[in-house]
Structures are given as structure tokens and as C-alpha cells.
Amino acid sequence: MIASWKIFDKEKLTYSSYIPEFEQMFMKKNKELSFGPRYYQPTNPASAELIILEDLGNRSFKNVNRQMGFDMAHTRAALDKLAQFHAASAVRFEVRGAYPEMYDRNLCSEEDKFKEFRETQANSLIKALPLYNAAYMESELQTYTSNAPDMFQARAPKFEDEFCCLNHGDLHCNNIMFQYDEHGEITETYFIDLQMSRYCSPAQDLIYVLLSSVSFELKLSKFDYFVFYYHSKLVEYLKLLDYTQPMPTLTALHIAILNHGDWVYPVISLLLPLLLIDPSEKANMDTMMDQESEGDQLRTTMFGHRTVVQEYKQLLPWAHNRGLFVYKTGN
């Protein structure tokens, strides 16, 4: 099943071909940068099925504490690097043509193996709605979760004249690493785990990283500012790389976030709780996929966790008031 997802093929192609191309594009404009760990080409056939990457720990790269999330400096650093990645990938598309078809989905599944899991997850969340003062959303969420597509397997939707780029596809704090100077200031930002990249609107990565990984205090209060900041950097780098198509506008980016708002539910119902709950041997996707007692226990713990409750009291109304839990015919 995992082989059919194409995650190995995507990650190998991205690290071996696209990342070097993107970095070279900036180099030609006298801007030296890197997007992630060094990739090492296998030297013998036995290693052909391996992806060999630099150990970033040797250069003192670190992750932010996932339960704390990004502060302002880390969010801006992540968005700046994201704008560079998106800009280079968009210019490459313009110059070299389309990315392979496997980049049209996060997971290139031949059949949906996760329907039962999604139903169980949704039922557990809906059952916990009173904890978040959100019982009034029960009917709407039941309808939405019964009909909405699995975004990880869905093909990227196309909207007329929409700016598109190669998305990281799984952009959260555990997949972003930072390097610091002796004063604790951020000097470099790298992305890792490029297994689920998808060619789509940058709204996908923005929804993913902002709602999953920014600190509780900033996540919604500065959401529009972070979109503004990302947009300003995106335009800056598109101009630097001589992008010849119309520049994406800030208004269009906000519209894209609504158009691609189906990403909000899986991010806040699946990814965010796993990042917020206390570490344990059972707090992982394998346990969550379990439909028996261990999985049920994790879901109960997860949706009742004090930090999850705190976040959901703000996030659920925020999404609800934007119509992001209303199933749209034609999704």
C-alpha cells in the first residue's frame, strides 16, 4: 500500500532534482541559500531504494517544542523559507513545464483505505464538542465529515487564474528545523520530509503550517498578518527570479485560503492534537489508526487534553464562522 502512495518516488525526485534546481535559480541571482539537508546519491545498486540525507544534528539544527509552537520570529523564518520554495517552484513550472502526475496528490492511493478511520475520528471529535462549547456544530460537522473528501488523497482542485506552486505538503513544526547563532537568533531554516509534496495553491501549505504549528497566542490573532507577510515575501522572490506571469495578489491569496479551506478540518482534527498532547509511546499515528481499545483511549485522551480544549474553543468557531465546515457540492 505504501508503495502505491509514491512518497518514496516523490521525496527522492524532489531532493535529487528539484531542490538543487531551486537553489541554483537563486544562486544565479546572487542569493545563496539551501532548502534542506544535503542529499547523497547512492553509490551502489543495493542503496538505490534508500534516500540518504545529511544528519542536520551535526550542524546543531533543532525543532521547536511542538507543544509550544512557533513564536513570531520562528513563524516569519518559516514563511520566508516557504515563500522562497514556492517562488522557485512556480518559476520552474513556467520555464520547464509541469511536474509529474504524482505531484497532483499528497498520497497517490489506488483505493481509499482510510474511510473507517476518518469516520471514527470524526465521531470522537463530535462527541467531545460540548468540551469546547461547540455542541451547536454537531449537525453541521456530521454532514461535513460524512461527505468531505480525504484531502491527503484528493487531487488538487483547479481554479481559473489561480497561482500555483509546489507545496511541501506536510509542513508542520516537526518537519521544519532551525539553526541558531551564539545569541539564540535564527540563522537558517530547513525543510525535511518532502514525501507528500503537491502542486497546488500555496493556500495548502499556509493553512497547514499556520494552524498546526504557530503558538496559541499568535495563531488566530496574527493569522491575517502572517498571510500578508508570506505574500510580501512571495512577490519579492518571484520578482527576483523573473517570474513573467501576473503576480498573485494578497486578495487572491485570501480567496484561495477559503477555496482550499477543506484543509482546515484535517489539520485541526488530526495533526494539531498529535502535536499538542503529552509525549508517550502510544501517542502516534499507528495507535490513532487502531479502531479498537488503544485507539479509542488515545482519541479520548487527545480530544480531552487541556491544550487541545483551549485551542478548539477558538479554532472551531473561527472555522465555523468562515463556512469551512459547510460541505460544498462538487468538492
The one-digit pLDDT tens for each residue of the chain (331 residues) are 565 677 888 999 999 999 999 999 999 999 999 999 999 888 776 666 788 889 999 999 999 999 999 999 999 999 999 999 999 999 999 999 999 999 999 887 777 778 888 999 999 999 999 999 999 999 999 999 999 889 998 889 889 999 999 999 999 999 999 999 999 999 999 999 999 999 999 999 999 999 999 999 999 999 999 999 999 999 999 999 999 999 999 999 999 999 999 999 999 999 999 999 988 756 676 776 766 677 888 899 999 999 999 999 999 999 999 999 998 765 4
**Nearest 5°: phi and psi at 285?**
-65, -35
Do 63 and 172 fall within a single domain? yes
Judged by DSSP in three states, 12 sits in: helix
Location of C-alpha cell 547563532: 181
Domain boundary among 218, 235, 260: 260
Q: Is pTM, for the whole model, over 0.85?
A: yes
Q: In the chain, how many domains are there?
A: 2
Judged by DSSP in three states, 265 sits in: helix
Q: Please tell me what DSSP assigns to residue 39.
A: E
Q: Which three cell numbers stand for residue 52?
A: 540518504
- Alpha helix (H) residue ranges in the chain: 7-13, 19-27, 72-96, 115-127, 138-147, 203-213, 216-219, 223-240, 250-259, 264-266, 272-276, 285-289, 293-304, 306-321
Rounded to whole angstroms, the maximal C-alpha distance in the chain is 60
Owning domain of residue 303: 115-149+277-331
Do 120 and 132 fall within a single domain? yes
Do 293 and 253 fall within a single domain? no
Do 168 and 314 fall within a single domain? no
Contacts (Cβ under 8 Å, ≥6 apart) of 292 = none
